[in-house]
Amino acid sequence: MPDDRPLAILLMGPTAAGKTDLAIALHEQLDCELISMDSAMVYRGMDIGSAKPTATELARAPHRLIDIRDPAEPYSAAEFRADALAAMREITAAGRIPLLVGGTMMYAQRLLAGVANLPASDPTVRAELEREVEARGLPALHEALAQVDPVSAARIHPNDPQRLMRALEVYHVSGRSLTALWREQRPETFPWRTLSIGVSPGDRRVLHARIAARFDAMLAAGLIEEVAALRARGDLHPALPSMKSVGYRQVWEYLAGEGDLADLRHRGVVATRQLAKRQLTWLRRWPGLEWIDSQGDDAFPAVLKLVRESVG
């Protein structure tokens, strides 16, 4: 039987792949409305380091779910799903196509798969896990997770502190593994049929060069000053999800006296490369993903062709 659900587009890819430019071009060519799928862009005052679209770009193509939280207030994947679904319903009701663009793969997965009935975050347990990281390092945390939830440990990167701590927090609070809780969820049909598009340069060296050039551009644009202003508020600290974002964490450490400017640049570029690697690992497992090489001039025509074929 034909699928009569309305269409939604997911435009995903590693950092610095060129997603924003493609999304804006799609907005201008087709009846699409953009929803940001980026865990750093939700925060106000975090503009340079998150590569947030400029005021000019947002005037051309408004993005929903940008600048909706203060950096002191954590924003979860469950909250993103609720907000994104509400925005998608509004866009579809207006006769337009929701276009979700970003590289936060956990947001994309939770959007489609739903959110398990997980316990709320426990500040006491989370603080203890953070002390454990400081004392023993992330590998010890990953090993501890492997003992109680080997399935989650196999899919969570050993250098992903936020997801590692959340999986262990769920176990310590509930006494049950994240995997067990997810297995109890009843599958549901997503209200939209989705076109999932992955964009990335075909040559990894090109992506690495883009990452380095963009980090240099961020430093030149005032990234250090942006983080210094956030630190000066006095109510932010490195353990917050906002300040753990790639780029912000490294600049925070630099401002705290860890290394010189050259070291900051090196650590920032390396951390961004590691993020891109994790994003690509997620995308390779994404079912039905249509890959587009964003390296050449034909990237947008190729994306446009996919969308038009899906629209019918």
HEC profile for 111-136? Answer: HHHCCCCCCCCCHHHHHHHHHHHHHH
Confidence bin at 138 (pLDDT 50/70/90):
confident
How far is residue 168 CA from its own chain's centroid?
Answer: 21
Per-residue b or e along 239-265, where b marks 16 or more CB atoms closer than 10 Å to that residue's CB: ebbbbebbbbbbbbbbeeeeeeeeebb
**Cα 131 to the chain's mean position, in Å?**
25
Of the candidates 146, 154, 152, which has an alpha carbon nearest to the alpha carbon of residue 181?
152
Nearest 5 degrees, angle CA 274-CA 140-CA 242? 45
User: Which residue's structure tokens are 């644009």?
Assistant: 221
Strands 97-102 and 32-36, by their bridges, are: parallel
Please name which of 101, 105, 111, 50 lies closest in space to residue 80, comparing C-alpha atoms.
111
Q: Which CATH number is 123-183 given?
A: 1.10.20.140
**pLDDT by residue (tens digit) across 9-19?**
999 999 999 99
112-116, 166-170, 262-266, range with the lowest pLDDT: 112-116
Q: Which helix (H) or strand (E) holds 238?
A: none
| Strand order through the sheet with 32-36 | 63-64, 32-36, 97-102, 7-12, 193-200, 290-293
List CB contacts of 275: < 8 A, sequence separation 6 or more: 14, 15, 246
Q: Please give the residue that has the higher pLDDT: either 231 or 176.
A: 231
Q: Residues near 104 by Cβ (< 8 Å), separated by ≥ 6?
A: 37, 38, 39, 80
Q: Among 53-62, 126-135, 202-211, whose mean pLDDT is lowest?
A: 126-135
Token digits of residue 311: 């629209």
Stated length of the chain: 312
Please identify, in words, the CATH class of the domain defined by 7-114+188-311. alpha beta
- Where are the domains positioned within the chain? 7-114+188-311, 123-183
**Token couple for 241:** 């999800």
Amino acid type, 299: A
Q: What is the pLDDT of residue 157?
A: 81
What are residue 43's DSSP bridge partners?
69
d(CA 282, CA 53): 24
Could you report the per-residue pLDDT of 201-243, keeping only the tens digit for each? 989 999 999 999 999 999 999 999 999 999 999 999 998 999 9
Q: From CA 298, how far away is CA 186, in angstroms rounded?
A: 41
CB atoms near residue 224 (< 10 Å): 17
Average pLDDT over residues 134-145: 89
> Which pTM value belongs to this model?
0.82
Between CA 103 and CA 101 the distance in angstroms is 7
